Amino acid sequence: MTPQTYYGFSKWFYLGLLAVAIGMVCIFFANNKNKSKLMENGYFVFILGLVGIISEYVDFATVLFVFVLISGFVLLINKIFIRANSTNINTKHYIYYAREFFPLVLLVWILRAFLFEVYQIPSSSMRPDLTVGDFVLVNKFIYGIREPFTNKAIIPIGKINRGDVIVFKDQQVKNRDLIKRVVGTSGDVITYKQKRLTINGIHLNYIPNGQYAYSDTYPAPVGKIDFKNDKYIEDLLGVKHSIITWDEVPSLNVNAVYDFKNKSNCNYVSNDEFSCTVPNGFYFMMGDNRDNSEDSRYWGFVPNDAVLGHAIYVVANLYDIHRFLIKIH
């Protein structure tokens, strides 16, 4: 399988265009009344529209940085050439709102780019511990301070360890982030046979832990599917965590494997057995929901420069109020 090709723009791009147009109309009819509701709402809708348009090409952190540059540039030009007084009621609206937005957007960008970020779990691939709708807090500096655009570590701090649950950039789809568990680091030989892992010749220990049932809804004509999984405690060479498996499907679907970088490091024996040697500077990722996760079995190894951070807490879930401040193991 080759990476999916996308044609045209997403719905968010066109909604962004509409929002920009609506925002500009509101700003025009606000007649330079900076603190009027019409002007405030106009700028709010206008900025949301720009986010939708720019996000078609770059990730959200870059979107924030673009707004930092734009607002900072407006203030700089104002300082050098216009020198408007901040208390002047005749201050141009674009200067007024640039002054309002700049410190806030700069602070949010610094927090997201270097310190912490919150992601929402979109799928069931990390069940049973992470469920659809979970908002997870990600520590972005634990593995080092990274240059925000190339994501290269410029000040190394911590080491990515086997068993860590990490967020990283999707290697197949642009501007999409994934969350999986590290099961293999540089040099590890990973074998997955009949739904059991072997790492560097060591067979992992699995303790039965009951069953786990859940439902997922897929686009037509599939619809709703009820899953009843076997649950185990997997000892990932010192890191114990829960996984689930589903006996009705094989360990993987060889026909669905992508052509990925360093694929020659892997040997796909059958739908129930494969092995891979992890290249230097890469990681092998798997979802804890082993039979409902597209992961390194299919799209290969994750480079260090794609790692965004370590998921540490479930902070909330709008569908389940009991999922609040849960530590991720």
Q: Is 180 a catalytic residue?
A: yes
Q: Is 293 a catalytic residue?
A: no
- Residue from 112, 107, 103, 9 nearest 60 by CA: 112
Of 180, 251, 293, 296, the active-site residue reads: 180
What does the DSSP 8-state code read for residue 81? I
Of 125, 251, 293, 296, the active-site residue reads: 125
Which segments of the chain does DSSP mark as H helices, in order?
11-29, 37-54, 60-77, 93-110, 296-299
CA angle 121, 237, 187 (to 5 degrees): 85
Q: 228: which 2 tokens?
A: 């009843």
- Find out whether 192 and 295 touch, Cβ atoms under 8 Å: no
Element (H, E) at 33: none
Sign of CA dihedral 69, 73, 79, 82: negative
| Distance, CA of 252 to CA of 255 (rounded, Å) | 9
| Distance, CA of 109 to CA of 245 (rounded, Å) | 39
Residue type, 70: I
The three-state DSSP-derived secondary structure of 257-273 is CCCCCCHHHEEEEECCE
- Find out whether 298 and 314 touch, Cβ atoms under 8 Å: no
Rounded to 5 degrees, φ, ψ at 78 are: -65, -40
| Distance, CA of 302 to CA of 283 (rounded, Å) | 5
Residues marked as catalytic? 125, 180
